[in-house]
Amino acid sequence: MKQMYTLDSQSRLKSMAMIHEKLYISNDLSHINIKEYTEKLVSDIFYTYGVMVGTIKSKLNVKDVVLNMETAIPIGLIINELITNGIKYAYPDVKNGTITVELTKNGSDFTLIIADDGVGLPEHIDYQDTVSLGLQLVNNLVKQIDV
């Protein structure tokens, strides 16, 4: 169990570090291309958790848009938490399936969808009222950017 917490923490830190790295190498120090960032982030998460090729696949439909850092960081952390949860819990017996990340834009509004075709949340889990640190983090980050 301690190893899993270490991977979760490493993954969270890496998702933030990737944003800072992208900003450092870009000409614009306050905006990030979310499509490029998401592609790299999902690939790194799959690598970190040892997802073997041909098992769990990622399907990305992320618009090629630029976001400010105040929005990109929470979105990156939300993606990190939900992809990580999908890898860890959605496929307990069969290690194959698809995790989908979609980010669409409608006017000035964005919609982020992260889904998997795994077993789903157990009935006793209320994702809005949970003791899970990861899901609490997701809920707080959603509130942070939903202003």
pLDDT at 69 over 70: yes
pLDDT of residue 42: 93
- Rg value, the chain, Cα: 15
Q: Distance (Å, rounded) from C-alpha 55 to C-alpha 7?
A: 20
pLDDT of residue 62: 95
Average per-residue pLDDT in the chain?
81
CA 41 to chain centre: 8
pLDDT digits (tens, 9 = 90+) for 130-142: 666 677 788 888 8
Q: Which residue has the higher pLDDT, 27 or 113?
A: 113
Q: Distance (Å, rounded) from C-alpha 73 to C-alpha 116?
A: 22
> Comparing C-alpha atoms, which of 2, 19, 123 is closest to residue 79?
19
pLDDT of residue 73: 84
Burial (CB < 10 A; 0-12, 13-18, 19+), residue 81, is buried
pTM of the model: 0.80
The yes or no reply on domain 2-145 and CATH 3.40.1400.10 is no
Strand-pairing partners, residue 67, are 32
CB distance 37 to 22 below 8 Å:
yes
